[in-house]
Chains A and B, each alone.
Chain A
Amino acid sequence: QTVVTQEPSLTVSPGGTVTLTCASSTGAVTSGYYPNWFQQKPGQAPRPLIYSTSNRQSWTPARFSGSLLGGKAALTLSGVQPEDEAEYYCLLYYGGLWVFGGGTKLTVL
């Protein structure tokens, strides 16, 4: 069974920078997994942020950026704002199968 792993929780100070990662149990994550990133706040549906590794949705602030880093997909938040406190999920594509990561709870403190 394919497993996608994210950090369970991270803490960042307002104005700081933090990187969330997304690893695959099958090996290195490449652009062919089309990594997507989503933000979810309590009681809300997931909000798409990044698609195909590094492309922002039209509504995604520029402080969110996606990349590949050390064999993982990565989401970097620069100049973190209090409203960025949320759960973040990655999604990877495995040829007819889509798998979400377990999510990272980001605390802004």
Chain B
Amino acid sequence: QLQLQESGPGLVKPSETLSLTCTVSGGFISSGSYYWGWIRQPPGKELEWIGSIYYSGSTFYNPSLKSRVTITVDSSKNRFSLNLSSVTAADTAVFYCARHSLVEMDYWGQGALVTVSS
């Protein structure tokens, strides 16, 4: 059974960079034609796709966040990471990592709350 687990600081200061890691177990990031993505959900609001990295390393970002987002993969540690720079209070959200293909987004992590505050 594939499992994904987000980890990282729960509190980030305004203007700094938010960094999260998603560790995958029960399967390998480098095997199969999958994307590994990040989704966020501000408190009480809807889901927003942030971006994804293909197993080959190609990246795809939400145009509204593209200038501040970097997603990388470390296949040797079977994990992928999100960096979101120049954060403000509006970036406070629960961040989810997920595995997906073109046709389905089938495995999600449990989510990690990140609060942006001084």
CB neighbours (8 Å) of A89 from chain B are 46-47
The answer to whether B49 and A98 have CB atoms under 8 Å apart is: yes
Q: Which of A20-75 contact B (CB under 8 A)?
A: 34, 36, 38, 40, 45-48, 51-52, 55, 57
Q: Mark A1-13, 1 if CB is under 8 A from B, else 0.
A: 1000000000000
CB neighbours (8 Å) of B105 from chain A are 36, 38, 48, 51, 91, 98
> Number of A residues whose C-beta is below 8 Å from B?
24
Question: Can you name the residue of chain B whose Cβ is closest to the Cβ of A40?
Answer: B47
A interface SS class:
strand
Question: Can you name the residue of chain B whose Cβ is closest to the Cβ of A53?
Answer: B103
* Interface bin, chain B: 20 to 34
The answer to whether B46 and A45 have CB atoms under 8 Å apart is: no
Q: Mark B25-63, 1 if CB is under 8 A from A, else 0.
A: 000000000000101000000111100100000001011
CB neighbours (8 Å) of B64 from chain A are 1
Q: In whole angstroms, how far apart are the Cα atoms of A45 and B104 in the complex?
A: 16
The answer to whether B46 and A52 have CB atoms under 8 Å apart is: no
CB neighbours (8 Å) of B49 from chain A are 91, 97-100
Q: In whole angstroms, how far apart are the Cα atoms of A99 and B49 in the complex?
A: 6
Nearest 9 interchain pairs by C-beta: A51-B104, A52-B103, A100-B47, A98-B49, A34-B103, A45-B108, A102-B46, A103-B46, A96-B60
Interface on A for B, CB 8 Å cutoff?
A: 1, 34, 36, 38, 40, 45-48, 51-52, 55, 57, 89, 91, 93, 96-103
Some 8 contacts from A to B, beta carbons below 8 A apart, are A38-B47, A45-B108, A48-B105, A57-B104, A57-B106, A97-B62, A98-B100, A98-B105
